[in-house]
Amino acid sequence: MMENILFDNFSKLSKEELIQMLIEIHLLYDNLKPKEKIGPKSSNWGKILPLSDLNSFLENLKNDFELIAPIKTDIVRYEVVEDISQINLTEMPYYSFKKYLQPQEYKIADIKNGKLDYNFEAKKRVVFGAWLCDLMSLPILDKLFLEEDPPDPYYKKMRENTIFIGLISDRQIRDEFLFENRIGVAPKYDLLFFEMEDQYFIDIGSERGRKFVGDLVDYEFEIPKISGSSNLVNIDIADKIDDILWDSENANGSCLGCGSCTLVCPTCMCFSISDDISLDLQSGERKITWDSCQIEGFTKVAGDEVFRDSRLKRFKHRIYHKIQYFKEKYSIPSCTGCGRCIRQCPSKIDYMKIVDELIA
């Protein structure tokens, strides 16, 4: 199974095991979007890049795109790369790359002479070194922002202008909070680099990704036929909404309602739209800003009515949104198992432990 192979020290894998691992990833992808799959249906599908050529590969990207990668600042974050030597491929970025698809605050229109001028443009970017759990956020964000009718025009522009290159390496430091092997959401990517000793084996996830590696050496093998099943999370807590466990100290007592969990979550997507406007109502700008369902004002409506007026109601809503409501609508959970909400929670609340207790 993928979860047994993928996250072990895979530099010790045999070639057959590596192939199996790659296939498992593609099976997940197939399960999600069978008709749009572009990829290894025959031999001659992968590419190889020697580790020693990575810097020149990235320098080339940097000439044409804004290059984003995990870099060490005070903490490791996905940031614009000024110098390739800043890139840190071992520590998990504190935040995901979500801000390049939905910035924390951004202008979508100018207000001129009392009229709105929608003029949002997206930069051409490459995100390199994306962690697998963060690549899993792409199908989730796409469901809401791209596949609904109409799609979100700003997300669409940013998504279309951003190339995602993932990386799997046994140098990546995994901590106890990561649980993406329990989620089973198929990652999306344009290219996926598997670091094996002194080479990267590159899987091509899209035609636009293929253009970046066209000149590299092919990696050929026959794909064995195997049968696979969906790894989608199969947890159902629909009938647990009033379970007595929600009254436990872990669920009810310790949530501060600070919203940190939603801030760091790669799939939390709530936002507000506001107008910053001059007193004569003639000039200003319209902005989109992140919001959080964990903040009391989130469900406040006219007349001061607050629909989720307790921290427990808000906390419960977040969990249900992640693994119940979203899945009921889109067939996949809205969680990548990145563990950031647990890692960064000041009360050390582990929401998966609560879920495990609910379904035990």
Q: How far is the CB of 195 from ligand SF4 (least distance, A)?
A: 23
Q: How far is the CB of 183 from ligand SF4 (least distance, A)?
A: 8
Binding mask 108-137 for ligand SF4 (x = CB under 6 A): ------------------------------
Q: How many residues bind ligand SF4 (CB under 6 A)?
A: 25
d(CA 105, CA 314): 23
Residue 127 backbone class (left: φ over 0; alpha: ψ -120 to 50; beta: rest): beta
Please pick, from the candidates 71, 141, 185, 341, the single residue that binds ligand SF4 as defined by CB under 6 A: 341
Peptide bond between residue 150 and the one before it cis (omega within 30 degrees of 0): yes
Q: How far is the CB of 154 from ligand SF4 (least distance, A)?
A: 22
Q: How far is the CB of 100 from ligand SF4 (least distance, A)?
A: 17
Interface with ligand SF4 includes 324 (CB under 6 A)? no
Binding mask 240-269 for ligand SF4 (x = CB under 6 A): ---------------xxxxxxx--xxxx--
For residues 196 and 332, which CB has a smaller minimum distance to ligand SF4 in the complex? 332
Angle subtended at Cα 186 by Cα 180 and Cα 192, rounded to the nearest 5 degrees: 90
Which residues on adjacent β-strands are paired with residue 167?
A: 193
Query: Which parts of the chain fold into alpha helices (H)?
Result: 2-5, 15-32, 54-64, 132-135, 137-145, 153-160, 207-213, 260-264, 311-320, 326-330, 340-343, 351-359
Q: Specify the length of the chain in residues.
A: 360
Region near ligand SF4 per CB under 6 A, out of 9-17, 210-218, 219-227, 342-350: 342-350
Give 30's Cβ-side CA count (13 Å radius).
14
* Contact (Cβ atoms closer than 8 angstroms) between residue 289 and residue 274: yes
Q: How far is the CB of 334 from ligand SF4 (least distance, A)?
A: 7
For residues 84 and 255, which CB has a smaller minimum distance to ligand SF4 in the complex? 255
d(CA 359, CA 356): 5
Which tokens hold the place of 360? 């035990």
Q: How far is the CB of 221 from ligand SF4 (least distance, A)?
A: 33
Interface with ligand SF4 includes 165 (CB under 6 A)? no
Region near ligand SF4 per CB under 6 A, out of 38-46, 189-197, 235-243, 329-337: 329-337
Interface with ligand SF4 includes 346 (CB under 6 A)? yes
d(CA 19, CA 235): 29
Interface with ligand SF4 includes 338 (CB under 6 A)? yes
Which of positions 283-322 make contact with ligand SF4 (CB under 6 A)?
A: 294, 315, 322
C-beta atoms surrounding 212 within 10 Å: 21
Interface with ligand SF4 includes 68 (CB under 6 A)? no
Q: How far is the CB of 351 from ligand SF4 (least distance, A)?
A: 7
229 burial type by CB count under 10 A (0-12 exposed, 13-18 middle, 19+ buried): exposed
Q: Where does this chain bind ligand SF4 (CB under 6 A)?
A: 255-261, 264-267, 294, 315, 322, 335-341, 345-347, 349
